[in-house]
A and B are shown apart, each in its own frame.
Chain A
Amino acid sequence: MTDTFLIGMLVLAAGLFAVGLFGVLARRAVLFQLLSLEVMLSGPSLAFVAAGARHGDPAGQGMFVLVLILAAAEVALGLALYLRMARTADVTDSDSIRDLRH
């Protein structure tokens, strides 16, 4: 693949990352934050794959599998926390759980 393509892919990846970051920061509902986190994760994974494709290194795709595993674990944890939150405090608002503050 050519460099311009790689750059294009990296820009797309950065864009995905930014969108995901924005979503995490801008949304209050935990579910949407988790969704945004997935989107964020897709960004670097695209970057990995694109870079692997460019250099012909399979490690890129291997990193993608790692990211998938990471995403799965993190979603599981996040959903568990979300369920916990919804059941005990009956809120879906991440802003409202802030007892660990001053």
Chain B
Amino acid sequence: MTLGAIILLPFFGGLVALFANLIWPRTDRWVALASLVLGMAALIFVTAQGVLTGSSAAGIEGEAGRWLALHRSDWAPALGVQILLAMDGLSGVLLFLSLGLGILTVILSWNETEKSALLMAALCWTVATSNGVFLAFDLLVFAFFWELMMVPAFLMIAIWGHGTREATAIKFLIFNTIAGLGLLAAVFYLGSTSEGPVTFDAFVIAARDIDPTVQVWVLAGFALAFMVKLPVPPFHAWLPDAHTQAPTVGSILLAGLLLKTGAYGLFRFPAMLFPDGFAVLAPYGLILGAFGTIYGALVACGQTDAKRLVAYTSVAHMSVVLMGICGGVHFSMMGAGIVMVAHAFSASALFLLIGAIYDRVGTRDIRQLGGLQRNAPRFAATFALFFSATLAMPGTANFLGEALVITGMFQVNWVYASITLISLVISVVYATRLFQRVVFGASRKAEVKQDLTWRELGPILVLGTGTLFFGLLPQGLMVALDPAVNAAVGAIQAVTK
């Protein structure tokens, strides 16, 4: 039941926060914070229990020692739907990320005055639904949370965003919902074409022998939803607009959390459920990823809106994740996992910084900014740190992930490795473009006079420490990701041998 608590605590916390202000003013943020902290506590408890006892893999044969926790209960037996939640190292890492980012965003929006209760609720619900995505192994429940994930994000963009926020929110919703149709269709197909009773249990489906051609089509449905979420060109058009018009906390959760759900889906389900289909479609995934990483980097080099620039770098980095997953070898998949975590840290931090600048001067146009070095040294120093993270400077987790992906690519095909290296070179161009226009130079029209406050600095320090820690001492992260990577690679190799 504690696994369920990881989802339910933030959800109900959000619900209560929505009405908390009616009881006592300004309690909504405390309620939200408390629910997220409790969720984190539950997560720590479950992880500790799973690590120490190592035996909660009841019900999943053949994967001893990998799963940290499992929860199975009926929901609609007639339809074959059960609440099946399972956590392993990969989901554990992502859950920590999700709850951590949730706490950070609640702290950041502590002083929000406009509709603060709804904002706190939206933040909590984003975390809750993402947790559902990370934990669900009943495919219908997974698809349920997948679709549900977009609603709080839509709210955040539409209500607290800037510019053409309603139109952008609708574009975001339509894009992702259409993509989710592929997922739904595939899930329903899988559930309904079973010899025995109808079931959506992923483990049962994994053990089933599905015809390879069918696998390709079903995998295409799954992959469409995940690739739109990642996002990979040519499905990425929703991301730059969503990031530009979203509020700071919206961008942080979008970049740090929602994009990772797509990556998680690609990591987990193709290898587990459709290894043959994966073997067929992986080369195309590699090509898409290779194209995406260069394309995203190139477009980022010409952007004038700081947030849009970072959005396109997200496209580039997540394309590297796609390449890593489609590579199908241990190094590249481990690298993809690490890039996921690293990108969450660095992109969230950059959005936080840019959001802080926007709050002060009201513009994100890099042609108008400048001179941060003179007036706000703390800003400049933290910007420098995340600038080097975006570049994949050794010492940051980003470099570690990308280097592992490149190593894996060398095992697959040196052309892809070269393309990733080229993308590394282009990353210098766009990172210096952002950094020197904002930090160096004399201030142009928009001068930032006030340095980072402690409320902003705190989350930044946490994110910076994370980036450096996982870059220099990644053993813990690798140990956590290892079982999931091994399982995925094993499933893929078993088919391609």
**In the complex they form, do A and B come into direct contact, defined as C-beta atoms under 8 angstroms apart?**
no
Residues of B in contact with A (beta carbons under 8 Å apart): none
